[in-house]
Amino acid sequence: MDIYGLPEYEFQWGLNLTESGLINRLQERLNDTSTYLPKICAVGDSHSRYMTRWSLSALNLTGMFQNVGSNWPDANNIESKLEGMHCERLFVQVGQWPASFQTRGHPFSFGKYHDQVKQHVQNILKTLENNPNGMVYLPTLDQGPLMGRIDNCSDWRTPTMMDGYSFLNQMIEKELNTTRVKYVDTNFIIYPLWDGHVDWQHLLDDARYRKTIYMTALMLGELDGLDLD
């Protein structure tokens, strides 16, 4: 039995540039010491760490960004975690643990998630006060397989819950009303291969690679002028 999803799957970017061409652009940016490369920080737990550790390595982009560990929306401690790191582009992924078994039966309500993530982002913005080009990105939450913990109601990371948290990320962007915070819709990458990772909690490698490519290109401005259907 094939447990790895759809072997005939072929992803379509909808860009007037091939995937390999986009990767080449990013590799050139990383290796070109004559041009400015802003420091990118991935704030979160394993979904950010896997992108930093595994996806960048597979794409020959090691060093493109750095992981900042943050399991939860942690407004009280995020400033100290970022102190001295000089992050300029930060993408924040702290929505997995609030809906997971880690809550010990008390997943974050939509209201609690909204309030805590909003304050988390506001405190990150404080670290960028002296950087006029600093940006915070809130991507769509990653979907995960319908594992046994969901079936027995000890984990709540269902598609509906993750979509709800993603909608709240959009609300936070609108409420903060600043060009420094941007919601990023990655569902066009996640939805086609959302349910299939062998550990039952993360994106398939192919989906994670493409999300890493897209997020990196977006934060570096490499998507400017490319058509995305």
**C-alpha span between 95 and 99 (Å, rounded):** 7
Regarding predicted confidence, which is higher, 172 or 1? 172
Q: What is the DSSP letter of 180?
A: T
Question: For position 197, what pLDDT does the model report?
Answer: 79
Q: What is the DSSP letter of 142?
A: P
- Do 143 and 164 meet the contact criterion of CB atoms below 8 Å apart? no
Residue type, 185: D
**pTM, entire model:** 0.93
- Do 120 and 103 meet the contact criterion of CB atoms below 8 Å apart? no
| Interval 197-215: pLDDT, tens | 788 889 999 999 999 999 9
Q: Starting at the edge strand that comes first in sequence, how are the strands of the sheet with 135-139 ordered?
A: 65-69, 40-44, 89-93, 135-139, 181-184
Q: Is the pLDDT of residue 6 over 60?
A: no
Tokens 């909608």 correspond to 167
| Interval 95-112: pLDDT, tens | 999 999 999 999 999 999
Q: Is the pLDDT of residue 228 over 80?
A: no
**C-alpha span between 74 and 202 (Å, rounded):** 22
Res. 5 pLDDT band, cuts 50 70 90: low
The secondary structure element, H or E, covering residue 215 is: helix 205-219
Which residues, in sequence order, are CB contacts of 50 under 8 Å at separation 6+? 202, 203, 208
Q: Is the pLDDT of residue 122 over 60?
A: yes
Q: Is the pLDDT of residue 1 over 50?
A: no
